[in-house]
Structure 1
Amino acid sequence: MHALLAYVADPADTMQTSYGVITLVQEHRFRLVDEQGAHALFVLAHDAPLEWQDLERLQLAGREVRVSHAPAPGKIAAIAHDVVGHDRIAKQPEQE
């Protein structure tokens, strides 16, 4: 009897980060548009620390977000493990 072994990549090894604005939310699926107008599709991971209602709030706020995601081979959407509001412009210290 032969055992079939499959390598399952650790999400931490393949994790990527994208920035943009959420333009569409449909349950656990959402679309992100970056500054250049490129679109990316994501599915919220089961272990993500937020729910689809949180995605809707971020969409309605029109706030830029940071998405930590991993590829999903054979799928058109990546798996989003975390989505947080992001302020790209850091506050500068006041000049004296």
Structure 2
Amino acid sequence: MELDKLVHQPTRLRIFAHLYANGETSFTDLTAALEITEGNLASHIDRMEDADCVAVEKRFVDDTPQTAYRLTERGEELFEDHIHTLEALIDGLETDTE
């Protein structure tokens, strides 16, 4: 079993998990929830967007620009596959120790 490096990278894994659990999230809320810098978030989001895993929506809310993110169908599938791989690894460890 091989882990997908796009998803497995620690910061991106946290982004995937947050968006999977919470749905669409604003840039500001995501940086606050994950306690990461704006630049760090932007670089990881760019990588995820290039891989068609995250959708980016820019809009105005009360005349203020706001950027929001959500996982695409592909992003959800990659995250779910990653979780299944981790579960299979854990199950394998439990089998080895019995």
| TM-score higher than 0.5 | no
Please tell me the TM-score bracket, short chain as reference. Answer: under 0.3
The normalised TM-score by structure 2 is 0.27
Structure with higher RCO (Cα < 8 A, 6+ apart): 2
Normalized per residue, which structure has more helix?
2
Question: With structure 1 as the length reference, what TM-score do the two structures score?
Answer: 0.27
**Normalized per residue, which structure has more strand?**
1
